[in-house]
Amino acid sequence: MTRDELQREFIGKIQRCIDRYQPILEEQFRVDLGRVVAKPLIVGEFIDHCFAKGREQLRRETLAKHGREPTSLRWAMYRLEELVTRPLGSMLTYARFWFPEFIMKSVSNPSAVIVSFLGWSKSDFMKPTVCLDQWTVHELAHNVWCCLANDEFEDHDRRWRIWNEGFAHYVADVSMRHHYPSNVEVDTDWSGDREDGKCLLAAHIQDQGKKALISIPGSWRTLDTAASE
Ligand SMILES: [Zn+2]
């Protein structure tokens, strides 16, 4: 098989995971995630996406702070920043994703689970993909959070990220586990922050029951204050 065919086949596997788990999550959390697609990471597109988010953020911040749109001078300065940082951004994106690993990112319009194939050799495609179900559900869980809390990554601090990742991990590693086929493995090797987030969620669910999961994206801040007292 050619590289393109291998890539297409891999993307197909993720799309099947999306199609299988999206309705389950939508029913459980009573949300509509809209159309979600699987696609390969294209560096230029990814950078554009980040800059589009940056522009949105600049607009929101200026509106909140000064009650008006950014001035044309401010836009020109931002445009210049973009031009200067674009090549650097491309290089960093390559460096960041230059691993023969499954790295997924969720973006919007349409919502997509993106896989970086940068640096993959043909044999990387042959590696067993027993964790794909879990990883796909993890990304979908981020979308669930987004729908429930109606917020975006860019607006938040580290505590939000810990809760947000914890939620995605709890959903994918614990609460959806019984939906996975028996040959599926669940990856447990996560960084400290991710583990911490998952533990915060687990403690809350143990205390309040499974139904409490749905309220976390909207109420994590209060729970976080309670947990740190
Ligand atoms: Zn995540």
Sign of the CA dihedral running 35, 40, 45, 51: positive
Pairing relationship of beta strands 104-107 and 111-115 according to DSSP bridges = antiparallel
Give the model's pLDDT for residue 109.
Answer: 67
Q: How many angstroms separate the alpha carbon of residue 165 from the centre of ligand 1?
A: 5
Cα 75 to chain centroid distance, Å, stands at 28
**pLDDT, block means (10 residues), the chain with 229 residues:** 89 94 97 91 79 85 90 91 83 63 60 82 76 90 90 74 93 94 83 88 90 91 75
Which chain residues have CB less than 5 Å from ligand 1, an ion?
165, 168
Give the model's pLDDT for residue 32.
Answer: 94
Chain segment 190-204, per-residue pLDDT in tens: 888 888 899 999 999
End-to-end CA distance of the chain: 57
pTM: 0.81
Give the model's pLDDT for residue 100.
Answer: 44
- The C-alpha atoms of residue 21 and residue 26 are separated, in whole angstroms, by 9
Q: Starting from the edge strand earliest in sequence, which strands make up the sheet with 111-115, in order?
A: 36-40, 111-115, 104-107
CB 98 within 8 A of CB 89: no
Q: How many angstroms separate the alpha carbon of residue 172 from the centre of ligand 1?
A: 10
Beta bridge partners of 38: 113
Preceding peptide of 110 cis, ω within 30°:
yes
Q: How many angstroms separate the alpha carbon of residue 4 from the centre of ligand 1?
A: 27
Q: How many angstroms separate the alpha carbon of residue 167 from the centre of ligand 1?
A: 9
SS3 sequence of 92-109: HHHHHCCCCCCCEEEECC
Closest to 128 in 3D by CA, of 78, 169, 185: 185
